[in-house]
Amino acid sequence: MSFFALSEYTRESGIAKLRAHIDFDIVMAKKTTRKSKTQFAFLSQNVGKIVLALIATGSFAIAFGNEKISKLKPTASNHDACLQQFYRDVPPLLTKESLKKDSYALCFTDFNVMYSGISKTPLWSAEYLTPERLSVKIKREDSFHEETRVQLAHRALLSDYRGSGYDRGHMAPNGDMNNTAAQHDSFSLANMVPQSPKNNQEVWRKLEEAVRSIVTKQHKDAYVVTGPIFEDKRLKTIGNGVIVPTAVYKAVYLPKQGIIGAYYAPNNDSLQVKVVSVCYLEEKLGINLFPQLTEQQKRNIYQLPTSAQQVKANKDISYVKWDAQSQCAEEATTESIQAQQQQFASGQSQPIESKLPQVDEETKQALIKQLIEALVQYFLQLLR
């Protein structure tokens, strides 16, 4: 074959190959276009389902997560508000082991209670009083009620007090409450002890008024812990086992001034009351009333007023003495403080010996796997 003929053949062959490539590209372009149109049509036809699936998926995830996790995690409702009632956010600590049995950490509106299912009374009620809080006054409306967060076997009942000859004596006073929710809570029987009528209506009423006057007249914040004292070997009961205290106490601390002291009043008709140190109470109670204070601070006694009339706006509360005789409560450990804080942070309504469930890593992974599988199946069902 001549050079010319070979060249002509090569030219024609190249053109043929070029045409073949062009034809192939055209075919592929048509296929791609048809595929794109098909995909677009699918999306157009199913856009409603896809949007619905995405919305449902998000809703399902939230619902699934809330339902599963809420069963494993304790509620931390009003955590900060609860701990604010304590000096430096630390609750009084039960140092006597026998007091811990069947006890309940109860958070209320504007006060907290450590309740005993043995005595069926509070062991202490704690509150933080400020001039702002006490500047609002509301009309008293009695609403005595049983505390349903406490197991029935441990609960004080309204019938326990009927015909007993004792008043239902507030520990956190109704007069300290500035809103209807707090006032209603203060009438829970978990905040009550059987109190001698004269003690409740005369001595105790005057002491409550005196503490409020310190806060309002002298513009001082106060941390207050109030409760019963059970001293006699043989204690009287009313109703179905509600124990009558031999005395009642109220410990007061004014942090800005360092003023501290406590009231001790026999639970009888004697109308007696004496001002003592916090350590004096702790020795009788088996409770560390202010764990964040030093022993030296708790041994101080200031002359707390026993009536509102004794409180003068421009007259400081005078120092009396240092109590060297009483045995203060043992110093609190970091672990015991954290455990007590957690009881209130978790909204505890079971005896404190009970253990709350923990979410371990294996359980977390299992929950995540269940969630993913459920979402995939739910998504596919919507697209069918």
Distance, in Å, from the CA atom of 241 to the CA atom of 235, rounded to the nearest integer, reads 10
Give Cα 161 to chain centroid, integer Å: 29
CB atoms within 10 A of CB 369: 10
What phi-psi label fits residue 88: left (phi over 0), alpha (psi between -120 and 50 degrees) or beta? left
Q: How far is 244 from 305, CA to CA, in rounded Å?
A: 26
* Identified catalytic residue from 21, 154, 170, 219: 170
Among this protein's residues, is 154 annotated catalytic?
no
Contact 227/122 with Cβ under 8 angstroms? yes
Could you tell me the CA-to-CA distances from 82 to 112, 252, 273 in Å, in that order? Answer: 7, 18, 30
Give the full edge-to-edge strand order of the sheet including 247-254. 103-108, 111-116, 121-129, 222-229, 247-254, 259-266, 274-276
200 is in an annotated binding site: yes
Please say whether the dihedral angle defined by the alpha carbons of residues 338, 339, 344 and 345, taken in this order, is positive or negative: positive
Q: What is the three-class DSSP state of 116? A: strand
**Which residues are annotated as catalytic?**
170
Q: Which residues are annotated as a binding site?
A: 200
Residue numbering of the annotated binding site for Mg(2+): 200
